[in-house]
Structure 1
Amino acid sequence: MLNLKYLFIGVLSALMFTACGTDNSSQSKETMGSAKKVLFVLTSHDQLGNTGEKTGFWVEEFASPYYFLKDKGVEITLASPKGGQPPFDPKSDAPESQTESTKRFKADKDAVAQMASTLKLSTVNEADYDAVFYPGGHGPLWDLATDKNSIALIEAFYNAGKPVSAVCHAPAIFKDTKAQDGTPLVKGKKVTGFSDSEEDAVQLTDIVPFLVEDMLKENGGIYSKGDDWTPYAVEDGLLITGQNPASSELVAEKLLEKLN
């Protein structure tokens, strides 16, 4: 009888352990499934007009938001119009342009590998993500501003009630995006982006295909800005925009608040 008693206790304990293990497993899966997913879209354009110089995305505008969000548990996927390695602006890799986040990126083998294998934009589905973020650099002025896949993606995110964020030159993506009524997406909305005075300061006013500040105003956006080169970001509903490289993390902060 004593042996049967201990056998019964053992079986009961095993059943309880299994049940608890199942609950923990389910809870773990549920926790893993709750991570927010953000799509980063980078430029594939590397020519700075007819200057013969190279351009692309600005490294700080990628690295700063990337690590801010990643460190908070956000899952990040990278995409670009052509897929693969997107070009970075050589000036953003200069010693004077380095920040803690750019240094961290250079030393991060996993992030560097992820950057080298961005998804082709045409294969991306809005339904797979909770928000989209566009880093700047001059490159987007030439490709993402008019890229049909990018335009359709932005409109899909917005119409699905998901945040659309961009910093510095990346608000160029709103050049041809439309609201459901056919009007410019930024019409009547508070926005910011690389200012005319900042473009003049880098002596590229006559090189770029259009000025971000002027385009946003022409599209009916309620444009505002801070002092040149200082952090400044604006949120209006689902749209979050930042003025310059220094505004990158501030945009990411506002995006995370929106996601939570």
Structure 2
Amino acid sequence: MNKKLWVALATVVALAGIFAMALPTILHKAGLHPEYTGEKVQLSPAKRALVITTSHGVLSAPGETEGKPSGVMASEMTHPYYNFLDAGMTVDVASVKGGEIPVDPQTLMYMIKTPEDERFLQDQVLQAKVKNSLRIDDVDFSEYDIIFMAGGWGAAYDLGYSPVLAKKISQAYYAQKTPVIGGVCHGVLGLINAKDVEGNALVAGRRMTGVSDKQVKELGIAITPQHPETELRKAGAIYESQTAFRDFFATHVVVDDERRFVTGQNQNSGHETAQRMMAIIADRK
């Protein structure tokens, strides 16, 4: 191999290395995981938040049991958790089945891993909560001021199919403590089967968001059994979203007119969704 070819090869390798190192910054600048620049509130430890996640850890076609490892998207759990915790709240973590929560390994890859994800990997307290999550059956939702449902592909397999979750969301809505309820991305599927006292969908007629059908299509993962935009519309919600050249880089947060539900469009919406939930709590007298 002559010298010019070696130089050319070395240049390509160097450029590839530079691009790889710069990729997290490039993605962030494009809109992935934006920083929250709005007003932040402080609450007391007497205020409690519950972060709920999937228990499903395989990306498979409906009815099949084998596929790529999946679960909760790391940032959709870590962003709200640390927002609530750093604001002074007491934060618990639960999942549909309880026990160890599957964290999608792809969402901890270096190019999309966030500072909160890094913090989680060093945080023995949160790691213990994730390894030994509460089972939703055993949790009294009415004891919480905020109920937040994280997304990720795993949530498409169990949050919207859990009668226990639907019932507990319904009961929490009417509880004396009147918690603020919501989530991001596929997490909003936990709302679709909640009912009001007349048996109607609790989300019907409410402005809400969740991951768009466009984003699901663009990511090429359509085998999941439920898609939030589709299911919210079926339940009668007034669906909203923002778009971008790829919706993976968009974000949108919606507070319903009653200020009881706060929903975020996707993985970019966790900080703002959590902060706006806490702002509602702080505004209450």
TM-score interval (norm. to shorter): 0.7 to 0.9
Out of 214, 222, 227, the position equivalent to 2:230 is 214
Deviation at 1:174, TM superposition (A): 2.1
Asked if residue 126 in structure 1 is aligned to residue 141 in structure 2, the reply is yes
Q: Which amino acid aligns with 2:207?
A: K
Alignment of 1:102-181 (within 5 A): 102-160=117-175, 161-181=178-198
Q: In the alignment, is the contact (CA less than 8 A) between 1:134 and 1:170 conserved in 2?
A: yes
Secondary structure of 1:234's match? strand
Q: Does structure 2 conserve the Cα–Cα contact (< 8 Å) formed by 1:65 and 1:249?
A: yes
Please give the secondary structure, in 1, of the residue aligned with 2:263: strand
Q: Is the 8 A contact 1:216 1:223 kept in 2?
A: yes
1:245 matched to which residue of 2?
267
Quote the Cα distance in structure 2 between the aligned partners of 1:104 and 1:78.
Answer: 16
SS in 1 for 2:161: coil
Question: Does the 8 Å CA contact 1:80/1:86 hold for their aligned counterparts?
Answer: yes
Secondary structure of 2:220's partner?
coil
- 1:72 and 2:90 are equivalent in the alignment: no
User: 1 CA distance for matches of 2:205 and 2:116?
Assistant: 34
In 2, distance between residues paired with 1:88 and 1:183? 33
Deviation at 1:120, TM superposition (A): 1.3
Does the 8 Å contact 2:96/2:136 carry over to 1? yes
Within the candidate set 44, 49, 58, 1:47 is matched to: 58
Q: Secondary structure of the equivalent of 1:102? A: helix
The 8 Å contact of residues 234 and 241 in structure 1, kept in 2 or not, is answered as yes
Quick one: distance in 2 between partners of 1:241 and 1:230?
A: 14
Deviations 1:186-232 (A, max 9, x none): 11000000001100111012x01122101111111110101222231
> How far does the alpha carbon of each residue in 1:217-253 deviate from its partner, in whole angstroms, 9 at most, with x for none?
1111110101222231101121110001010111001
SS of 2:272's partner is: helix
Q: What's the TM-score once normalised by structure 1's chain length?
A: 0.84
Partner of 2:38: none
Deviations 1:145-174 (A, max 9, x none): 111221111111111222111101111112
- SS at 2:168 equivalent: helix
Give TM-score, length-normalised by structure 2. Answer: 0.77
1:133 is displaced (CA, Å) by 0.5
| CA apart distance, 1:33 | 7.6
Displacement after TM superposition at 1:34 (Å):
5.8
Quick one: which of 43, 48, 51 aligns to 1:37?
48
Q: Is the CA contact 2:44–2:89 (under 8 Å) kept in the aligned structure 1?
A: no
Structure-1 separation of matches of 2:156 and 2:67: 16
The unaligned stretches of length 5 or more in structure 2 are 1-42
Unaligned runs of 5+ in 1: 1-31
Match of 2:250 in 1: 230
Percentage identity across aligned positions? 30
Q: Which moved further from structure 2: 173-182 or 194-203? A: 173-182
Larger Rg: 1
CA contact (8 A) 1:146 1:175 kept: no
- Across the aligned residues of Structure 1 and Structure 2, the Cα RMSD in angstroms comes to 1.5
Instruction: Please name the residue that 1:194 is paired with.
Output: 211
Aligned counterparts of 1:71 and 1:174: Cα–Cα separation in 2: 26
Matched, 1:255 2:277: yes
The residue type paired with residue 252 of structure 2 is Y
Q: Report runs of 4+ in structure 1 exceeding 3 Å deviation.
A: none
Q: Which residues of 2 match residues 78-97 of structure 1 at below 5 A? A: 78-97=93-112
Q: Give 3-state SS (helix, strand or coil) of 1:209's partner.
A: coil
